[in-house]
Structure 1
């Protein structure tokens, strides 16, 4: 094989490997932007991150709180969230502390604040490990202070 031919093969190999890396970074950046915008919209009262959920998304709430468990659809998760929101006088407002992404995974550390029906604050810290595909969240593991959530659930009678 001639030296010129070897140089071409080497250059093409480099282009293909760089292109694959660029594509991965592009998906990562797109996913990060989608999640960042969804949190910004939520903070402004224009929607929530749940708007990005695929209909069959798998959502795991870690811990042993009344809502801990595995939910296998957006509708099932909505039913699990209802008892929480029924105890709040105001919606949870998120404040993002950090976002880290790698390939199709975006991890967000955030703080949620609201006022409960008994006029006491509800403040919790969350970390959501989200996997995205085609612009939708398909899998989440949600970590939070389940003690704070359980205390809200026990203390406040839900609105009817």
Structure 2
């Protein structure tokens, strides 16, 4: 067997051992999320537009605002709207890091806004997202939920 055939067989064997996500669109998913955060920061849309109708959003923690929202509508109505109702300005995100692996994208970011009472709302977030066909289907959000409680009270 010549050297080219050996290399071809080795490459084919190695590709068969790769995990399923290795051949999919990791870079595209990362770019999609980066653009959504860039648009959000610029006040021209944002990440929530990528949520699938049946997306599951989990807010980690033990505060009254922790929990699981089983649809985009439930999340937007029961979680996002009450927060935005307390704010005089939108939350402006600053992305610290985006890490992607196949359908999974993790974003570590900081958010700042001004509450209607004039106080500053600041929090750091880590959103662990799963994407399918360009839509976010599942999120586990880590943040200081007790800071959120302060804003809501």
User: How high is the TM-score relative to the length of structure 1?
Assistant: 0.85
1:97 aligns with 2:96: yes
Match of 1:40 among 26, 32, 38: 38
- 2:112 corresponds to which residue? 113
CA deviation map 1:21-41 (0-9, x unaligned): 8x8365110000000000000
Q: 1:11 aligns with which of 8, 11, 27?
A: 8
Q: Work out the CA distance in 2 between the residues paired with 1:15 and 1:41.
A: 40
Which of 58, 61, 76 is matched with 1:63 structurally? 61
Whether 2:48 is the aligned partner of 1:50: answer yes
Deviations 1:64-93 (A, max 9, x none): 233211111110100121111110001111
Indicate the SS of the match to 2:28: helix
**Structure 1: gaps of 5 or more residues:** 155-160
Gapped regions of structure 2 (runs ≥ 5) = none
Taking the aligned partners of 1:15 and 1:124, their CA distance within structure 2 comes to: 47
CA distance in 2, matches of 1:25, 1:124: 35
The 2-side partners of 1:102 and 1:131 are apart by 10
Q: 2-side partners of 1:18 and 1:29: how far apart? A: 18
List aligned pairs for 1:65-84, cutoff 5 A. 65-80=63-78, 81-84=80-83
1:145 aligns with 144
Q: What's the counterpart of residue 129 of structure 1?
A: 128
Aligned-partner Cα distance in 2 for 1:16–1:104: 24
Per the alignment, do residues 24 and 91 of structure 1 end up closer, same or farther by CA in structure 2, a change over 3 Å counting? same
Q: Size of the alignment, in residue pairs?
A: 150
Shift of 1:10: 5.2
Q: Which structure is larger by alpha-carbon Rg, 1 or 2?
A: 1
Q: Is the partner of 2:32 in helix, strand or coil?
A: helix
Question: SS of the counterpart of 1:78?
Answer: helix
TM-score, normalised via structure 2 length = 0.88
In the TM superposition, residue 116 of structure 1 has moved relative to its aligned partner by: 0.2
